[in-house]
A and B are shown apart, each in its own frame.
Chain A
Amino acid sequence: MIRSEILREIAPILRDHLVVCNIGLPSQELHMIDDQPTNFYMLGTMGLSSSIGLGVALAQDKTVISIDGDGSVLTNFGTLPTIANNIADNFILLIVDNGSYGSTGDQPTYAGKKTSLAAVARACGCDNVIECQDTDTGQALTDAINSKKMTIIVCKCDSGNIKVPVITKDPVVIRDRFMTAVQS
């Protein structure tokens, strides 16, 4: 499965929770598949989906799912020790690991070669790290939500993109409706 197929499959699970979605195609795909006020779309700032999501999770009690990519986690590797040492049991980091920088033309990442993000996360001290195959993502995500334990899911999948429109919503509108959803 490619990322957009996974997002389509897990959208019914995501829609009940706060979601911070990674820059570029992941946000554009989620926006097209199932736009929700509980979704915070990153329009810039590669690498910070996990940091933003952890911040939201530490500040309030609702479950927060950060959708990240292998390339973006590689950009912000410092996030993994911060996550490990600041436990928020309402936080799930879902790394869609397709071994490529999808939004920029599917250039290969090191995560698709010798580097295991799950092993790195464990080495950083993260307690609940699950590596799953694309078809098992929905189950892994449901299990993580039900466990009420901070969890990192590394979802191994195929690289590939679909045609999607860019997000034209104003960033302040995205932020305001997300904050309203947080408070509701």
Chain B
Amino acid sequence: MSINTKIVDDFVANGIEFVTTVPCKQLAGVIDEVEARKEIYHIPANKEDEGMGLCAGAFMGGKRPAIIMQNTAIGVTINTLVTLTQYYRMPLPMLISYRGELKEPVACQAEMAVHTKALLNQLNIPTYHFHKRADADELDAILKYTFMCNKPVAILTDATFWGGY
């Protein structure tokens, strides 16, 4: 089974029916898989804070949401995470491509990578880092944890996890 299929299988098994995405090269395969699944309403967003707004609405409308995005978006979504997702205590699994880590070819990506975990830590967002394929075995438990505690939860997935460039 491909890692993309495994990830989206875990989404579906945890009742996630509404997924918003802002693309990243590393995430292309999982986004294709989300688009292909009839159990999921896939709604591409133009910016990650917009996507978090859509997810907040979907959750209040009765559907479990998730967002797929790049770590660079942490910078533009802090206000939304704090004043919407956390303030109203809503669950939001965030599958995040962790650009700027080992095997990164684009130097500028490292600039946000060095802030990524520090920002998530500052925001008290539970954060998991997938570096090896086997790390994804915990995804099911992470999703259950997210909807148990009604928090945004970050799942950082680096280039080594995705098989490098």
Contacts and interface: CB of A to CB of B under 8 A. Distances in A.
B129 interface: no
B88 A172 contact: yes
The 5 lowest CB-CB distance pairs between A and B, nearest first, are A55-B57, A59-B61, A44-B83, A51-B53, A78-B46
Given A60-B61, A175-B89, A44 B43 contact: no
7 contacts: A45-B79, A45-B80, A55-B61, A57-B57, A58-B43, A78-B46, A79-B50
Interface of A: 20, 40, 42-45, 47-48, 50-60, 76, 78-79, 81-82, 86, 171-172, 174-175, 178-179, 182-183
B53 A56 contact: no
Interface of A is mostly: helix
Interface in B30-58: 41, 43-47, 49-58
Most chain A CB within 10 A, of B44, B50, B65, B90, is at B50
B165 interface: no
B88 A59 contact: no
Contacts of B90: 175
A79 B83 CA distance: 19
A103 to B, nearest CB: 14
A51 B54 contact: yes
B124 to A, nearest CB: 16
B134 interface: no
A56 B60 contact: yes
